[in-house]
Structure 1
Amino acid sequence: MSLYDDTVLVLKGYEDQPELRQAYLDHLAVHADGLWKSCGAGHITASALVVDPEGGRVLLTLHRKMRMWLQMGGHCEPDDTTLMAAALREATEESGIEGLALLPGGPVRLDRHHTPCAWHLDVQYAALAPPGAVEAISDESLDLRWFPYDTVAEVADDSVVHLLTATRARL
């Protein structure tokens, strides 16, 4: 199965946010390259909010280009076999944490936002940090920091706050 086919199946199986979900599916139906950064009309991205439920905290990255505190995530790559694999790869690369595990049940949220390269049609997962996880900053970040759940709204935008809320509802 191709990444394109997997993404369509993931989106069709996602039951929340029906209008936005349909917009993603419509985008893919019109743009065969809708998963790739080269698609100037916008592209599917995959992200994961790294959480430590026992510590009641979330790991955010101060994104080098966006200059905002965000969850880990980014563009799909040709070696990604599934959308979940893309989200887990991005979370692992940007957090430096080995052994992350995506929260079962598929995507937590969808979020469409404009970036300097194009519209991102982000499929958002949540990743559980293993006990004793130690983060390591990547080249894509200016900073990487754990934040208690109740302080996220002070540093991050509404998209991250909504993602955290949806993630906590699944924990």
Structure 2
Amino acid sequence: MTDTLHGDAVRALRDWTVQDAGQDGLRRDYLGHLAERPDGLRRACLPAHITASAVVVDPAADRVLLTLHPKVGRWLQMGGHCEPGDDTLAAAALREATEESGIAGLTLVGDGGRPQVVRLDRHEVHCAGRDNPAGVHLDVQYVAIAPPGAEELISEESLDLRWFPYDELPELTDGSVRRLVALARDLTG
């Protein structure tokens, strides 16, 4: 992980304009984590580390692409751990979305050409397997727009990959994903 990524994560969170008190509290918690932990974006940073994700949408068709996560057993947005080659959180989110969706040419929603954080979500996970203590993902979320006519290609990181109409999300979708999808719809509609 580079100092560039750490600095970008601090900048992205610090510069994000948040209207919601709960999201602002998470933003402050994430910034505190990064201030205390130079390794705060590494998977090995325990008990918590920053991750990046993006919900892939096709606004022209009013649909969202979700992956059925093999470890979680729920439909989620694309995302995961930051890697050594990621210089920015947005690049990590875009890389994960591209790898997991199989769609080239995704673009992140932004302001003035700069991808913007849209939401934060803190959740417990078992990165090291179910037999090991749970950790916490401090997820930084973006919205990715699929190019016209995009066709998904399932990866080995997914049990299933499907487009869903915004108003017909599958039962195995939690409240956090539903809130992210609603926000993505508002931002791209």
TM class by smaller structure: over 0.9
Structure 2 residue matching 1:43: 3-state secondary structure: strand
In structure 2, what is the Cα distance between the partners aligned to 1:97 and 1:85? Answer: 15
Shift of 1:91: 0.2
Q: CA RMSD in A?
A: 1.1
**What letter is aligned with 2:66?**
L
* Residue pair 1:153, 1:161 contacting (<8 A) in 2 also: no
The alignment of Structure 1 onto Structure 2 pairs a total of residues equal to 171
Structure 1 residue matching 2:110: 3-state secondary structure: coil
What residue in structure 1 maps to residue 32 of structure 2?
Answer: 26
Q: Does 1:114 align with 2:124?
A: yes
Which structure 1 residue ranges, 4+ long, deviate > 2 Å from structure 2?
A: none
Cα deviations by residue, 1:30-60 (Å, 9 ceiling, x for unpaired): 1111101000121100000000001110000
In structure 2, what is the Cα distance between the partners aligned to 1:149 and 1:168? Answer: 8
Q: Does 1:124 align with 2:148?
A: no
**TM score, norm. by length of structure 2:** 0.88
In structure 2, what is the Cα distance between the partners aligned to 1:18 and 1:135? Answer: 34
Quote the sequence identity (%).
60
**TM score, norm. by length of structure 1:** 0.97
Q: Does 1:101 align with 2:107?
A: yes
Structure 2's unaligned 5+ residue stretches are: 128-134
In structure 2, what is the Cα distance between the partners aligned to 1:45 and 1:18? Answer: 17
Cα deviations by residue, 1:105-164 (Å, 9 ceiling, x for unpaired): 301100111111210000000000001101001111000000000012633100101101
What residue in structure 2 maps to residue 55 of structure 1?
Answer: 61
What residue in structure 2 maps to residue 142 of structure 1?
Answer: 159
